[in-house]
Structure 1
């Protein structure tokens, strides 16, 4: 038996084992699968005399099931350079009034006149359709 599905294919930059594709199913057997994203923003740690701000949105993920989100964000331009932030959030954490958020944390890429990275972390905003 064949079940028609549609979806989005995400391409991850990288080489070797860092390169991969992810499929996000948007319909199953003609029925839509609801997806959502989350806003993500904050400030990095203060290192080598400066910090960076970052803001963006997560990749889409299905609603109503256990899930995580991938994210890719470029920091603000400070001290003559930027850093890149990427990772995967933790699992969904319900909010008392409905909806949910995700925790995220990690280290930026290394860059700058004095090569360095920054710590970052926080919670996403509530889900957005």
Structure 2
């Protein structure tokens, strides 16, 4: 028996607009899941020599696009001390707001129960 392979995607956030139609491919799924993400109030620019703030959430979806259990934050970097809690909350709130994800039945069958690692990359304005 083998474990399902993690589906991985990276999205630059915030998105200019929400995707208009239901996702039918993995490439279309990641923006659908990230469309609700907004930077938390007071998020300062990146630290430690990076241009970006990054956070990765691991989650699984049902066939209908709803979450199977709560997402888990597996990585976060590029932010000032004391901002982790707000960044995590903003990310979890965004995933809650964008689920159930608008996906086609075919994509739902393909991804149901499989782990998804979604990396949000935010480049604050200069």
- Compare the two structures and name the one with the higher strand fraction: 1
Return the structure number with greater relative CO, CA threshold 8 A, min gap 6: 2
The normalised TM-score by structure 2 is: 0.30
- Compare the two structures and name the one with the higher helix fraction: 2
The normalised TM-score by structure 1 is: 0.30
